[in-house]
Amino acid sequence: MSVRNWYIGLLVFTLFSCKDFVLKKEHKDDIIKEGLEKLNWNEVEQPPLFAVCKRKSEEELEQCFQNTITQHIHNDLIKHTITVKEAVNDTIWVPLLITKEGKIILEDISLPPDIETQIPDLKDRLEKSIHSLPEVKPAHTRSTPVTTLYKLPLVIHID
């Protein structure tokens, strides 16, 4: 076999063996879109952040966020005199939606019937308290602001 035939054979072999070797050109927007679709939006890398929480460690950020809201609601509610006919000792869950724009929204809250009858304006008071919260920076996942839902416990104990 001559050297020339050997080169032709090698060339033919190379051409047919590389039929599955195709370079795909991807657009930058397609790569970003695919990456965003793969993100687990249920996992937040950084929780929403109030200004008072900025100097906290990473482990303390979420606890600071929750404590700030709880303390704010508590301070607002104790300003009002609440009179009840029977003692109330219950925990309600306050669902808060923190949008990617940093807006805090009180989601539909369901109160136990005894609390609703004894404290009929509790929902309104909670709504006003939530609207008066200080500015919050939204939660982040991979440096992208995301909307998050938190359910915070609110213990109501009135004798």
Of the chain, the percentage scoring pLDDT greater than 70 comes to: 73
Task: Assign 81 a pLDDT band (cuts: 50, 70, 90).
Answer: confident
Does this model's pTM top 0.85? My answer is no
pLDDT score recorded for residue 29: 61
Integer CA distances (angstroms), 66 to 29, 58, 86, 131, 132, in order: 36, 14, 29, 16, 15
Residue 140 pLDDT exceeds 60: yes
What pLDDT, on a 0 to 100 scale, did the predictor assign at position 12? 63
Report whether pLDDT(85) > 90: no
Measured distance CA(63)–CA(70) in Å, rounded: 10
Tokens of 19: 């039929």
Best CA proximity match to 73, nearest among 149, 152, 139: 152
Instruction: Return the amino acid letter for 109.
Output: I
Neighbours of 92 (CB within 10 A): 18
Looking at residue 122, its pLDDT comes to 86
Instruction: Say whether pLDDT at 126 is over 70.
Output: yes
Mean pLDDT score of the chain = 79
Residue 13 confidence (pLDDT): 63
Three-state DSSP at 128 gives helix
Separation CA 93–CA 110 (nearest Å): 8
Number of Cβ atoms within 10 Å of the Cβ of 30: 10
Radius of gyration of the chain (CA): 29
